[in-house]
Chain A
Amino acid sequence: MARMTNLYDVSKCTACRGCQVACKDWNQLPAVIEPFKGNYQTHEDTNGDTFTIVKFMEGEDPVDGVYWNFLKYQCMHCFDPACMSVCPQGAYSKTSWGATFHDPDKCIGCQYCTYACPFEIPKYRKREDKITKCTLCVDRVEEGLTPACARTCPTGALTFGDRDELLQIAEERVKFLRANGFPRATIYGKLELGGLNKLFVLTDTPDKFELPIDPKVPGQITFWQDWIQPYFGWLIPVALAGSAVSFVTTRILANKNGDHTEGGHE
């Protein structure tokens, strides 16, 4: 099955946050009420009961004047997800169409994935001692429906479909935006981290949307994952095997030599 993905075009987003609520409706998530801190964006980040948020970023450009950028932020469903590679329980899996699926039944709440993720997306839900994150509405997509966020988007900023087709649309759109007042417009998610299963059309450079320009799996994680773990763990079986060998050989040799019976060198 072809890769299915969301295309999110910020130039059409009005930051209504319908997606944020529709996500809660579909995924049965309670509200997390935090006080107003001087920005419309009441959650600084996703949390255990909030899989997606819309970020609000205002600024001023000497030429273009005031701008107010919005970004729907959630799991990127990376082609090669760090969360999945570090999960000790194998709670993560990829669907054939590209969703990074997290099975809560397998999760033990260790939060390793949270810190392995370049976007720190998987979040801990205290009440169940589990990690949660955007599911790309796998249950809906498997039944041929679109994810709740894309379904609800009033303006069509968020769409869902075949990634290759959406990529083409995104490229066209970026071309259009560049020619129409957004010279720095760009696609995000096409190549980042080897490809994300979420595509963005941005009207400016990614940093203007609080997105890492070149996201990377944290060095501590890759070093461990690629270099230490595959070989280092052998120490334990070596110790066990060595002990077993020694157990046998010492006794064989002792019988042969007839000493050591008293447990000491003479």
Chain B
Amino acid sequence: MSTLITRRQLLKGGGTSIATITIASIFGFQLDSVRAAIPELRTKNIKPVPTICPYCGAGCGLVVYTNENAPADSPQVLSIQGDPDNPINRGGACPKGSALMNLREIYNSETGEQEINSQRIKKPRYRAPGSDKWVEKDWDWMLENIAERLKETRDKHFEHVDINGILVNRCEAIASLGGAALDNEECHLISKMNRALGITFFEHQARICHSSTVGGLAPTFGRGAMTNHFVDMQHTDCALIIGSNSAETHPITFKWLTEARDKRKAKIINVDPRFTRTSARADIYAPMRSGTDIAFIGGMINYILENKFYHEEYVRWYTNATFIVGESFGFDDGLFTGYDEATRSYDQSKWNYEMNADGTYKKDMSMEDPRCVLQLLKEHFSRYDIDTVCKITGTPRNKYMEVLDTYCATGAPDKVGTIMYAMGTTQHTVGVENVRSYAMLQLLLGNIGRAGGGVNALRGESNVQGSTDWAMLYHILPGYLNTPEAKKHPDYAAYNAVETPKTGYWKNKPKFLSSLLKCYWMEDHPAISYDYLPKRIDGKDYSHIALFEAMYQGELEGLFIWGSNPVVGGPNANKEQAALANLKWMVAVDLWQTETSEFWTYKAVERPTDRDEYGIKTPDEIETEVFFLPACNSYEKEGTITNSGRWMQYRWKACAPVGESRADLEIVNDLMSRVKKLYEGSTKPQDEPINRLTWEYGNNGHPDIDIIAREINGFTVVDGKPGPQVANFTKLMDDGTTACGNWVYSGCYPADQYLARKRDNKDVEHEGSKAIGSYLNWSWCWPVNRRIIYNRCSCTPEGLPWDANRASIWWNGEEWTGNDIPDFGKTTDPNGAGGRNAFIMRPEEVGCIFTKRNEGPFPEHYEPWESPQENLLNNQPFNPAITVWEPDKRGTIKDYPIVGTTYRCIEHWQAGAMTRMQPWLAELMPNCFVEMSEELAKEKGIGNGNEVIVSTTRGDMKALACVTKRFKPFLINGNYVHQIGMLWHFGFNGYASGEPANRLTPHIGDANTTIPEYKAWLCDVRRA
């Protein structure tokens, strides 16, 4: 196609020396020997295998080009690139996605040769008590020994009946951590296995990343998930990015925001303590001190209410602004009525609605009653005037005003704004209320349920949405059913009686529980198998921090780690590392040697100073047996993952696993089969949960994905065997005739096709309207393929779109129709009964501006546990409802005058094990750094690139200084307060190594979900 023009043709007479030409001419040599030098396309005639990126929750598609003829133990990957067919990224890929090849193969920097990444572990490894090295073992030996340890610990510590005589079937000596990077099918099996084993300390990454999202959104909207999806961001008029550095953590968001800016002239607002890559591309950047979101948003709510910028019709019909609240509700000096200082908790019955005699809610549709939610809200936030807010947050007044005017403009009925947030919001002692404040703001502006709107919780792990749906958490069962508590739910009937609301879609809960129990124990009636489930001790906290506190106290014997790295990623990592040494055994499943799997090595003991607050042990003192099982990577196996926008996408297997590594699915299946074998023949009633467990996933240790997927979807049980699949969750029954692994996913495999495998990327528009990027035939999305949830709100009360140019659904006179699947009764007349009850998952069936949370029904600004500033709005030193684990570790400004925070960069991912082991990514961000203002650096005599030590009451951390204009001191209530921030990706292993920033962070959590406070604490910094 192309011809090469040589420089001789191009140049008139120049070129190299004429002498050259002359001599060459004399000797008569051919000058124009132009070779066809362009190499042939490497991927020509190679069929790409589609996969989904294993990093953030965006769910970008990638394609893997593999040389299938290459031997399994040699390099096979030719190239991995963005999938041009995937609607989310359209071929785009950030550096992590682009570097995906490094998960398996690298180019040697000495020779340039392609080779298997030497960091990948090829054989199982065992670490004996007191040893300082690994010994390679075979799989049989490993799994046999693990199963035996498991049985030993379980049998020793199992509680069949508690002191009250309630069947509890729990084992509190074994914990399971991690799973957010696993496939849904794998999560399902682990969830099932752990529940059968009686494990109550069952936690994973969702606890420490977005638990407060579920805790904030579910009580407000009914579901805890991101309301919209990535492609939809193109429809926004204004994006408020707060508590997220989405350009770095969720790069593809900027594809769609850029689109919105190009096509709609949308504005992007970024609120962040430091000027980030997101800020660089934002129209407005407003700095805000870490931990002051509620003040910031509270000021916006106040501004909206004072100036009537809210979307009145929307608020009237789709929120509980009209509801009348009972007289017992009140608020004074940061405390709501019903507070008990001794237990640090509230009597939430003080905050009830007033009810009519017929059991309906008392409302004032004019929203003028002083006891209606809107008026109470107005009163509550009236203290959040602009000056007070700016004194707290340190935001320059003019910037704050710009944010107010720009974002509040989306309250107009034809304007839509979206809020995008992540860990900057969630990881606080007020994490849930931070999220609540966003949700409330969006309800007031009428931005929920609409294309281009929503509260977009940006999930940070590829399947953390899925793993949360799979309830790899102590407090829920798959599909967001609460786990049984012994006294509260002693039996099946009691559970259903307590847990089932009378209104809203959750009234179907018994059907979901029954089907789940049938899926687990198919041969038993749910009323019986209910008791196989472990029942936790009422009110006991089993969450991440509590788990490690228990481990630190020596209460745990065994631990499973499924691709998780708390030695780097856990809060107060020094304590968590010290806690691991109290275990008898630990099983770590990962691609690499994570810092957690090597917590017993000499490397793990190294510290920048002599300080040791938690008694870190050396290898010879550590008696923990460690079993390391090498797992294969995301494109060496197959399965589905669910992205942040709830799309369940399929990943095909593209090449052979490295060495002997195996898919987690195979590992779980193999392990549980062995455990079942060990218990075979036992007649003890406490072993029934294992012996009766339905565990048949195909032969030869290679579980059949389709069998699992059908179980997830649900089927009718015929003669104790799987019958035909159900169409979706509406077909589930509460009498034990149906089984379903997770009702939320019911509908993903309705007949003979796993809908997650669908790859038709034509965005079909409904006749007479414009397509809105729903891509209904691309993969599948829960619930039942609804892409934007609560989409009833996208229409006027009468059922017509607020904005016809981005119409999601509408009422055509007979039924709801449009460009998305209605998240509403398909034939529910908007003018009939319940026709405007847009939030079907809430008992109130409206969006809840007022809703019960552990620290109150409205958000109130509380300073972080460690804060440089007294609260200017009330006299509470910090959130009055949180548990204080280590009162002696609360740093004060006297010793620690600087606000510290941790964050991520685009080049690395979470606790770093995945990315630090990849040369291409280590190259982009090779060391850990601490960012600080030029002013602070000058004060402390620190130069750019110097080694510095950051200290808190928990420990020290050494890193390199990044002195930058992008961090500025905050003017807080008349005083300058410095803030610094550091990457938390680093650990002692990998091509890029450094010290974990979490050695600094406190063991303190939110009042509802105990999500740890990673983002605002006190520290000091000095030159190393």
Contact = CB atoms under 8 A, between A and B. Distances in A.
Given A25-B101, A66-B275, A154-B89, A35 B251 contact: no
B964 interface: yes
B9 to A, nearest CB: 9
B599 to A, nearest CB: 26
Contacts of B99: 21, 24-25
A8 interface: no
Given A16-B247, A32-B109, A80-B10, A42 B94 contact: no
A22 interface: yes
Contacts of A84: 7, 10
Nearest to B16: A88
B22 A20 contact: no
B42 to A, nearest CB: 7
Interface string B55-86: 00000000000000000000000011110100
A27 to B, nearest CB: 10
Interface in B1-31: 1-8, 10-11, 13-20, 22-23, 26
Given A14-B254, A105-B37, A142 B18 contact: no
A14 B281 contact: yes
Given A25-B79, A60-B965, A93-B34, A33 B992 contact: yes
B926 A151 contact: no
Interface string B900-911: 000001110000
Interface string A129-172: 00000000011101101001001111111000000000000000
Contact of B98 (A18, A96, A140, A234): A18
A201 to B, nearest CB: 13
B1 A1 contact: yes
A68 B251 contact: no
B107 A29 contact: yes
A255 interface: no
Given A14-B278, A14-B280, A16-B906, A21 B920 contact: yes
A154 B37 contact: no
Contacts of A42: 923-926
Contact of B3 (A96, A153, A156): A96
B330 interface: no
B719 interface: no
B19 A36 contact: no
Interface residues of B, number: 94
A26 B91 CA distance: 14
Contact of B280 (A15, A22, A33, A36): A15
Contacts of A60: 965
B924 A143 contact: no
B81 A35 contact: no
Contacts of B10: 80, 84, 94
A106 B925 CA distance: 35
B35 interface: yes
Chain B CB within 10 Å, residue with most, of A21, A92, A101, A154: A154
Interface string A5-45: 00000011111111011101110111111111111101000
B919 interface: yes
A225 interface: yes
Interface in B89-117: 89, 91-95, 97-99, 101, 106-112, 114
A156 B15 contact: no
A58 B81 contact: no
A152 B869 CA distance: 45
B41 interface: yes
A237 interface: yes
B997 interface: no
Interface stretch (B501-509, B527-535, B629-637, B955-963): B955-963
Contacts of B22: 233-234, 237
A155 B258 CA distance: 7
B926 A33 contact: yes
B785 to A, nearest CB: 26
B2 A155 contact: no
B378 interface: no
B110 A154 contact: no
A22 B101 CA distance: 10
Question: For this complex, into which size category does the number of interface residues on chain A fall?
Answer: 35 or more
A97 interface: yes
A155 B4 contact: no
Contacts of A66: 275, 285, 965-966, 968
A212 interface: no
A97 B81 contact: no
Interface string A231-260: 111111100000000000000000000000
B991 A229 contact: no
B760 to A, nearest CB: 22
Given A152-B91, A153-B92, A97 B2 contact: yes
Interface string A83-104: 0111110101111110001010
Given A31-B922, A68-B966, A154 B255 contact: yes
A216 B1 CA distance: 32
Nearest to A4: B2
Nearest to A68: B280
Interface string B946-976: 0000000000000011111110100000000
B777 interface: no
Given A12-B258, A25-B79, A25-B99, A58 B7 contact: no
Contact of B41 (A143, A226, A229): A143
A30 B112 CA distance: 6
Contact of A105 (B18, B35, B98, B944): B35
B39 interface: yes
B277 interface: yes
A37 B945 CA distance: 5
B825 to A, nearest CB: 38
Nearest to B20: A233
A24 B920 contact: yes
A17 B112 contact: no
B288 to A, nearest CB: 15
Nearest to A105: B37
B939 interface: no
Interface in A178-237: 181, 225-226, 229-237
Contacts of A80: 10
Nearest to A173: B262
Chain A CB within 10 Å, residue with most, of B2, B35, B968: B2
A154 B94 contact: yes
Contacts of A142: 1-2, 38, 41
B346 interface: no
Given A14-B251, A18-B251, A93 B6 contact: yes
B40 interface: yes
B17 A233 contact: yes
A85 B10 CA distance: 9
A234 B18 contact: yes
A34 B108 CA distance: 15
Nearest to B968: A66
A264 interface: no
B252 interface: yes
A145 B63 CA distance: 15
A215 to B, nearest CB: 19
A128 to B, nearest CB: 7
3 closest Cβ pairs, A-B complex: A233-B19, A31-B919, A38-B944
Given A14-B281, A68-B279, 5 more contacts: A105-B37, A152-B98, A154-B82, A154-B92, A234-B22
Interface of B: 1-8, 10-11, 13-20, 22-23, 26, 34-35, 37-42, 44, 79-82, 84, 89, 91-95, 97-99, 101, 106-112, 114, 247-248, 251-252, 254-255, 258-259, 275, 277-281, 283, 285, 905-907, 919-927, 929, 944-945, 960-966, 968, 991-992
28 contacts: A14-B251, A16-B95, A17-B924, A22-B98, A25-B79, A26-B79, A28-B107, A31-B991, A34-B923, A34-B926, A36-B929, A86-B16, A90-B7, A93-B37, A94-B10, A95-B4, A139-B38, A140-B41, A142-B2, A143-B41, A145-B41, A148-B81, A152-B91, A152-B97, A153-B92, A225-B14, A232-B18, A237-B19
